[in-house]
Amino acid sequence: EPQIVYTHYRQQPHEDDEINLLELWRVLVRKKRLLVGITLAVTLAVSAYAFFAPPFYKAEIFLLPPLAKDVHGLNFQALNINEHSSASVYNLFVRNLRSRAFRMRMFKEQNLVDLLAPDRDPDTRIADVFERTFNQALTVSQDLRKKGLEDFATVSFETRDAHLSAKVLNDFIRLVNAETISILSQNVAEKLNSRKQLLQNQIASKRKLAPLRRGDRIQVLEDAALVAEILGIVDNTVPTIMNGPTTPVVAVNNSQLPMYMRGTKSLRVIAKTLRQRSIEDPFINGLRELQEQLVLLESITFNRDSITAVTIDQWAIEPKTHAKPKRLLIIAIGFVLSLMIGVFLAFFLNTLEQQREQLKSS
């Protein structure tokens, strides 16, 4: 029978890895001058850029929603105008901060094109200067992911002038706050004017219809008087119900009786009085209530100075240190990149040298 022979193989250590690492180290040692030279050259160049590049200063302003008393002037509970909360006003303010229209207005009104780009090419478009030096440099940030912090907003502006960065930012916040208040105030004023116009139209229509209603009433009275005359009813006839042998108790609602039951005498006196009436207002149903509402609307005073769309947690102050360039970070990145470039060139040159030796030996 065939026998199965088990052969035990002894695993040999992988010496190739150690040899390769040692060879790599020898290559770096042979090319150390190249490696050090490239590292120093690139690092010095990057350092020169970091130290001589124009600095940019960053000003920041911190914002919170307005208090309830700050938007109270936009709400009138007596008129059922109570739709402006602190949150809604603040959200409108933040949207206006991001508006290109408001930013461009600030850019033009403050003549920032000359302040932010004094050395610009005369052929450069103002829109390009606005986009590069103002719109991109002005940022609004909110941390909407953290509960309780979504109302906090930070607005920052970067430019080469430290004083200008804070001034422009504070002026922009004031502009947006004023314009937001103006928009809200205009909306409320339009609603008040709309209600005033509606009340005035209702009052005018009631007054216009009052003579017609009076004429209708006179015609009804005359018709009833004619019926009463035909029936021979001269005086007011009111039936009574006897509650006892001697005490009558009247229990009749005249409005439910035919009008001719009042008699010709009473009906014609009422009709004559209506014809001679010269003033309609006291007899118009609901007129005084409408006039009262109109007087209330006209008595409302709108004070914009008591309204604000934002609470300034901290105004922007002139930064003492520049935000860009970050010199240490730039130098560190430059050193790492220069070292990587030097290592790559060292191995690349070593490979070329080996290929040349192989060609010579062949």
> Where residue 309 falls among pLDDT bands split at 50, 70, 90?
very high
Per-residue pLDDT, averaged over 36-57, amounts to 76
CB neighbours of residue 157 within 10 Å: 22
Residue 90 domain-assigned (yes or no): no
Q: Where are the beta strands (DSSP E) in the chain?
A: 57-64, 138-142, 153-159, 241-242, 248-249, 311-314
* Burial zone of 320 (CB within 10 Å; 0-12 exposed, 13-18 middle, 19+ buried): exposed
Residue 265 domain-assigned (yes or no): yes
pLDDT at 262: 86
Return the half-sphere exposure (C-beta side, CA atoms, 13 A cut-off) of residue 68: 1
Distance CA 203, CA 194 (A): 14
> Where residue 238 falls among pLDDT bands split at 50, 70, 90?
low
**Chain-wide mean pLDDT for the chain?**
81
Residue 141 domain-assigned (yes or no): no
- The predicted model scores a pTM of 0.68
pLDDT at 9: 44
Residue 222 domain-assigned (yes or no): yes
In this structure, which amino acid lies at residue 334?
G
Q: Are 307 and 184 in contact (CB under 8 A)?
A: yes
Distance CA 51, CA 73 (A): 53
Whether residue 10 has pLDDT greater than 50: no
**Pairwise pLDDT comparison (360 vs 151), residue with the higher score:** 151
Residue 272 domain-assigned (yes or no): yes
- What tens digit of pLDDT does each residue of 136-180 get? 999 999 876 666 667 889 999 998 888 899 999 999 999 999 999
> Where residue 48 falls among pLDDT bands split at 50, 70, 90?
confident
Helix, strand, coil % over all residues of the chain, rounded to 5? 60, 10, 30
Residue 254 domain-assigned (yes or no): yes
Distance CA 319, CA 340 (A): 36
Residue 10 tokens, joined: 């002894």
Whether residue 50 has pLDDT greater than 70: no
**Pairwise pLDDT comparison (177 vs 337), residue with the higher score:** 177
Q: Which domain holds residue 241?
A: 209-298
* Burial zone of 248 (CB within 10 Å; 0-12 exposed, 13-18 middle, 19+ buried): exposed
Residue 6 domain-assigned (yes or no): no
Largest alpha-carbon pair distance within the chain? Answer: 156
Distance CA 45, CA 149 (A): 43
Residue 20 domain-assigned (yes or no): no
Per-residue pLDDT, averaged over 333-344, amounts to 80
pLDDT at 127: 87
Per-residue pLDDT, averaged over 274-290, amounts to 91
- Domains in the chain, number: 1
- What tens digit of pLDDT does each residue of 12-24 get? 445 455 557 777 7
- DSSP-based three-state secondary structure for 62: strand
Beta bridge partners of 241: 249
